[in-house]
Structure 1
Amino acid sequence: MTAVQEPRTHAGHPLTMTTEAEVTAVREVLAAAGMLGEHVRYAFFAPEEPAKADVLAFDGGEPERRFRAVLLDLSSGRSWDTVVSATARELVSCRELEPEHDGQPPIIDSEFEFIEDVLNGSPDWLAALEKRGIEPASVRAVPLSAGVYDYPEEKGRRIARAFGFRQDFEADHPWAHPIDGLVAYIDLTARSVDRVVDSGVVDVPQAGGNFDDPSVQGEHMTSLKPIEITQPEGRSFTVTDGRVRWGKWDLRIGFNEREGLTLHQIAFDERPVCYRASVAEMVVPYADPAPVRFWQNYFDCGEYMFARYADSLQLGCDCLGDIHYVDATIADDFGNPKTIGNAICMHEEDYGVLWKHSDIFTGSREVRRQRRLVISFFTPIGNYDYGFYWYLYLDGTIELECKATGIVFTSGTPGEYATEIAPGLGAPYHQHLFSARLDMTVDGLTNAVEEVEAARVPMGEANPYGNAFARRSTRLTRESEAQRDAAPGTGRVWHVVNPEKRNALGQPVGYVLHPLGQPTLLADEASSIHARATFASKALWVTRYDPAERYSAGDFVNQNPGGAGLPSYVAADRDIDGEDVVLWHTFGLTHFPRPEDWPVMPVDYTGFTLKPAGFFDRNPALDVPPTTAKHCH
């Protein structure tokens, strides 16, 4: 097994990954403009990608590199949305946010750091702990995004809500000991507790959750023998300045703190398929309506910028095989460059049989092995850890697999809305709902979307024996029509076709989005979370491309009252028939936790697949060579 890191380079393409020098240049520009005072912190930093037309027209030279930085003054709560040209070293734009309308910038590390001190300065919080017989020094505070509810006093203010978990010793995982029936509402700017909600004393669960304790793990199995994956002749892919080539695939990779890994200009056999693919948002709505828990709904991308915590991946543990690592550079709270080593992992995997046939007439016996290129990253956010794995296959298939692991969020109240996973320890029901933004370019910019599903045919003159079934196709022509649910019972899929390009059979070339068809948002339509996470209420949205429309729940999700993102994007009801279109696909998990998910959760999986349908005239993997004998053993 080997690992290679990609060297950092200067920008040679508009979509080259961020460099430390560029982060520093942005900070210097903002400082010179007088925008970085003693109390000002970065709440967001990412490349401001050029419009699609500008990227596609790029023909060399030194591109202009712009970056978006959202600044937060911790002392006043004021915030500014800025764009800086690192190339021209100038401030391009600056707008002060209006919190009641725009929402708040994300919660940042600098705010997490003082939460316990704020709580321990609150007489009401200390009294609640004393009533429970808990020493404040043993309590680990977990500050969480507040959402938006009918609290007039919170409008325009920067609010968080905090639970407490007891930690019995330094290496003790406090998630096992939730202090239930208690929550504090905190003004992050004033650094004060607005109020403490105490719904009554609940026994703190006593059983430990220290999954990393050797005495908890027990004796390790001795029957498992090592697995080694080698490529004696080296990897089959190359990576140059963020451009990846493997087999017939050609694409670019990117990374930012909000979406994490992004894929760009994905092409197969020199034909474009998808201009940009990312996870643009995710929300984790909880189902417990208790007075201290009803507000638990986390937007891990928009409220926390979860990819800023991406793991530095380890060879042989996170990734196995002949690995190529790529570092990712972001900005810390002070605007200084922070490079995450080994943030992105790339490798090839064998994936079983690609195609095979043994023919009874000719005696022909042919088989080929499937393999896939894996491009991935992993990020912890609070109690959960999420892995995002993009797979490219030899037959033109693209797949995204999201992996959820870590520790389930806990309560001290198992019951109607939570599973008892250990004695007295509850794990509330919840969902993990992801929104993939797929800016499609199937053989060009002119695309349309058709909803295709199986249709039963009743017995009759045309179907006398009742065996017939047909395929029904409906063209989605406007944004108002293109807000769709999955329908597993009919095998519903969505074809993205190019009506201007035909295959050898005269059919429009296309790619098909295959959903898993799991539940979307289960919260009531009148709920606050439904208003704020409307994107998650449908499995598919289709919009006309607009470079400003980047995030499913809007630019500023934290304490946004709702209506931002996709609901506002589709309000114009634009034509999408034969246009430059973007697909937004909601997929995810509805998690009713099991005892087997404790004390650490085995990986659960979700995702979707994009498969060619008429994009090729025949099987595009006929030219995959047979495996030679020396590699079969």
Structure 2
Amino acid sequence: MTITEHGLHGHAHASADAGTPHPLADLSAAEITRVRELLIAELALAASTRFAYVGLEEPHKREVLAWEAGGPLPERRARVMLLDLADGKSTDLLVSLTNGTILQTVVLDGSEGQLPILVEEFEMVGDIVAEDPRWHEALAARGTSHDQVVCVPLSAGHYGYEEEEGTRMLRVFAFRMDHPKDHPWAHPVDGLAAYIDVINRKITRLIDTEPYPVPAEHGNFDDPELQGPPMESLKPIVITQPEGPSFDVDGDEVSWANWKFQIGFDPREGLILRRLRIIDGEEERPVIYRASVSEMLVPYGDPQATRFWQNYFDTGEYLFGRFTNSLQLGCDCLGEITYFDATFADELGNPTTIQNGICMHEEDYGTLWKHSDMFTESDEVRRARRLVISFFTTVGNYDYGFYWYLYLDGTIECEAKLTGILFTSAYPEEGYPYATQVAPGLGGPNHQHLFNFRLDMMVDGLANAVDEVDAVRVPIGPGNEHGNGFTFSRTRLQTEADAARDADGSVGRAWHIVNTEKTNRLGQPTGYVLHPTPTPTLLADPSSSIASRAEFATKHLFVTQYDPAEKYAAGDYVHQNPGGDGLTKYRAGDRSIDGEDIVLWHTFGPTHFPRPEDWPVMPVDHAKFTLKPYGFFDRNPVLNVPATTAHGTGSHATGSHAGCAHCAGDAGAACSCGH
């Protein structure tokens, strides 16, 4: 890798005016065009050059905070990754939009990994394999031909093959497609994989093992005959807000109830939430500076010669934000919806927009708080609601939805929803331990979905620390004579080496992010607690290639000191990265994380042993984590939520407010039951 420095490296100190974007605002279509024109002019780009990535290079957090306090406007920068398809030259550039100059150029030599995979490269592989007679012979041995299959190009990983060092590689499977509307995932042409040198357009290795029969039964879930008669008993659900939603939107800035935040989008990370803060009385209190999917790993557990390399990094290798769905009212989103478009650069460097890429709406969420008191006859209940910000992306066969939930009481949740189609294989034999038979002769290999979220915390300010809190049994003895006592332990994570931690459901392990300089009225540190879901981390052997490339997936939590250059859990160049990058490098200095500006890296997600019910299309599976205020407020912060006013909505129960004995029965009166 070589680094060339260009021009000015300082920061512009121009004053902001009405036309100046917020320092954290996404690149606009006009700015993307400016970046393209600048690079074409300065670098005389060849026609074969493609824009693998264009995104905002965010200023240092302290620069942004200083600007918000009245300081100078940070320099506006863009990061650009260029790939020349003619010779594989890969360049990572930093561009100043403020000054119209190239600030830095990094030329990759391949030893540190490759730039993200292009859609154009996906489209090339069919033509490349078609030029090799061995491919045709292997297909013929399985009773099919190149004209009857689709080629599925996949990231290559890193396995020390000499011919792949510094070479841009993809690996390819074939799936038979019996007619233009046939979903090919039902017909894997198994025992066959091609390793492709994309730049030199050739197969470097053809793995041709046992020619399994191609499963014949179709999996066309959109076929009315397969679907069967419609379920006619379901009645419509209508969600209305007669007075409109409760939030206000100004560009990418959102205010809702006691929350304020900024919505962003990046072609690598997808949806980004920035500057989440709570309005507490007259004070605006920060909670999270930036939250996004840092990386997403899908490791497969089938060790066959054609499949052992199946480990996909959907953000770093594929830039899954590019495949964001355009959401549809009544289908993807229900109720009073506000949409945000997602704008990014295509592979020619031109701006492109996915309309309705991000959805935001409110949802009723049942009871917020309630008590019927036996002494005072006080009988009060309030209804909860949450704000939902979401997007969906389709990466090949799988569809992923990411949902952020903000609650009135300060709780933050993030949920991943997984659906789509299984990545299939032939089912080798009854009792095969690495896959489940989901249809005749069709296998669903064991795999995991491991999401890593980068949570740049800012709980009441920059001086944060993490305490690991476990439930503790107390043995029978003096002071606990009857054995009913239990308590908790609290352990401060001091440095980055301490902060590689596993969740533990047996002790209810949670991580408290506390401010080391602020306290509540009881003298306790203000804080938030991260509640993980204690599911398995990476199940591959610790000495495996994937464990080296994805250390972030081997623990549920890492904590590092903030550095704006440390953005991605698996490193900047994930495709064919040999390992030891990302969090492995970030933590090498073992910096202090006690009372510092810190970042949490949280990994979670399901381990999937497929079932027949997952075929031919998978019902949504769910995975999530929760952040709850802990001592952040002095008392219950939602005492001021008003009682619900009834609107006489259609109920088939007897009476206007059946089941709520304390309600007056007047459909226009205030009612605390929420009916």
> How far is 1:135 from its partner?
1.9
Question: Which of these residues, 234, 237, 247, is aligned with residue 227 of structure 1?
Answer: 237
SS in 2 for 1:251: strand
Seq. identity, %: 61
Is the counterpart of residue 406 in structure 1 residue 423 in structure 2? Answer: no
CA contact (8 A) 2:67 2:73 kept: no
Q: CA deviation at 1:57?
A: 1.5
Q: Which of 279, 289, 292 matches 2:293?
A: 279
Deviation at 1:483, TM superposition (A): 0.5
Given the alignment, which residue of 326, 342, 364 partners 1:312?
326
**Contact 1:12–1:63 (CA<8 Å) still a contact in 2?**
no
Distance 1:134 1:10, change over 3 A: farther
Match of 1:568, SS?
Answer: helix
The structural deviation recorded for 1:628 is 0.7
CA–CA distance in structure 2, aligned partners of residues 625 and 12 of structure 1: 37
Letter in 1 for 2:38: V
Per-residue CA deviation, residues 143-174 of structure 1 (Å, 9 max, x unaligned), is 00000003111100001100000000000000
> Which region of structure 1 is more displaced relative to structure 2, 410-419 or 202-211?
410-419
Where in structure 2 are the equivalents of 1:465-480 lying within 5 Å? 465-480=482-497
Alpha-carbon distance in structure 1 between the residues aligned to 2:542 and 2:565: 27
- Where does structure 1 differ by over 3 angstroms across 4 or more consecutive aligned residues? 59-64
* Residues 81 and 90 in structure 2, CA contact (< 8 A), matched pair in contact too: yes
Q: Which of residues 26, 43, 46 in structure 2 aligns to 1:37?
A: 46
Q: Of the candidates 468, 471, 483, which is equivalent to residue 500 of structure 2?
A: 483
Letter of the 2:116 partner, please give it. P
The root-mean-square deviation of aligned C-alpha atoms, in Å, is 1.2
Is 1:536 the counterpart of 2:553 in the alignment? yes
Aligned-pair distance for 1:35?
4.7
Paired AA for residue 110 in structure 2: P
Deviations 1:438-485 (A, max 9, x none): 011110000010000100111111211111111100000011001101
8 Å Cα contact 1:459/1:466 also seen in 2: yes
Q: CA deviation at 1:520?
A: 0.5
Equivalent residue of 1:602, what SS? Answer: strand
Equivalent residue number for residue 464 of structure 2: 447
Aligned pair partner of 1:56 in 62, 65, 68:
65
Q: Which residue of 1 aligns with 2:83?
A: 72
The aligned counterpart of 1:99 is: 110
Change (3 A) 1:612 1:188: same
Check conservation: 1:12, 1:62, Cα contact below 8 A: no
How far does residue 63 in structure 1 lie from its aligned partner after superposition? 5.6
Structure 1: how far apart are the matches of 2:616 and 2:176? 16
Q: 1:11·1:62 contact (CA, 8 Å) conserved in 2?
A: no
Gaps of 5+ in 2: 1-17, 649-673
Q: What is the CA–CA distance in structure 1 between the aligned matches of 2:143 and 2:467, rounded to whole Å?
A: 62
1:512 aligns with 2:515: no
Say yes or no: does 1:456 pair with 2:473: yes
- Higher relative contact order, structure no. (Cα contacts within 8 Å, ≥ 6 residues apart): 1
Q: Deviations over 1:461-512 (max 9, x none)?
A: 1211111111100000011001101001000000000121010111000000
* Structure 2 counterpart of 1:3: none
C-alpha deviation, 1:46, in angstroms: 1.1
Quick one: structure 1 residues 11 and 488, their matched pair in 2 at CA, closer, same or farther if it must change by over 3 Å?
Answer: farther
Correspondence 1:28 to 2:26? no
- Give the gaps of 5 or more residues in structure 1: 1-8
Aligned partner of residue 630 in structure 1, secondary structure: coil
Q: Which residue of 2 aligns with 1:4?
A: none
Contact 2:64 2:74 in 1 (8 A): no
**2:391–2:402 CA contact under 8 A, matched in 1:** yes
Q: Report the Cα offset of residue 87 of structure 1.
A: 3.1
Counterpart among 532, 543, 559 of residue 576 in structure 2: 559
In the alignment, is the contact (CA less than 8 A) between 1:18 and 1:328 conserved in 2? no
1:368 corresponds to which of 382, 394, 410: 382
Question: Which residue identity does 1:495 align to in structure 2?
Answer: H
| Offset of residue 195 of structure 1 | 1.7
2:147 corresponding residue in structure 1:
137
CA drift of 1:617 comes to 0.7
- State how far apart, in whole Å, the 2-side matches of 1:245 and 1:433 are: 31
1:338 maps to 352
The answer as to 2:419 corresponding to 1:389 is: no
Which residue type is aligned with residue 321 of structure 1?
A: G
Quickly say closer, same or farther: Cα 1:188–1:201, change in 2 above 3 A. same
TM-score, scaled to structure 1? 0.97
Cα distance change of structure 1 residues 10 and 194 upon mapping to structure 2, 3 Å threshold: farther
Larger Rg: 2
Q: Is the 8 A contact 1:83 1:91 kept in 2?
A: yes
Shift of 1:183: 0.2
Q: Using a 3 Å threshold, how does the CA distance of structure 1 residues 10 and 329 change in structure 2: closer, same or farther?
A: farther
CA distance in 2: counterparts of 1:255 and 1:10, whole angstroms: 20
Q: CA deviation at 1:17?
A: 2.5
Structure 2 residue 228 is the aligned partner of structure 1 residue 211? no
Between the aligned partners of 1:327 and 1:479, the Cα distance in structure 2 is 38
Q: Deviations over 1:511-562 (max 9, x none)?
A: 0000011111010000000000111001000000001000000000000000
Deviates more, 1:592-601 or 1:91-100: 91-100
Contact 2:63-2:74 at 8 Å conserved across structures: no
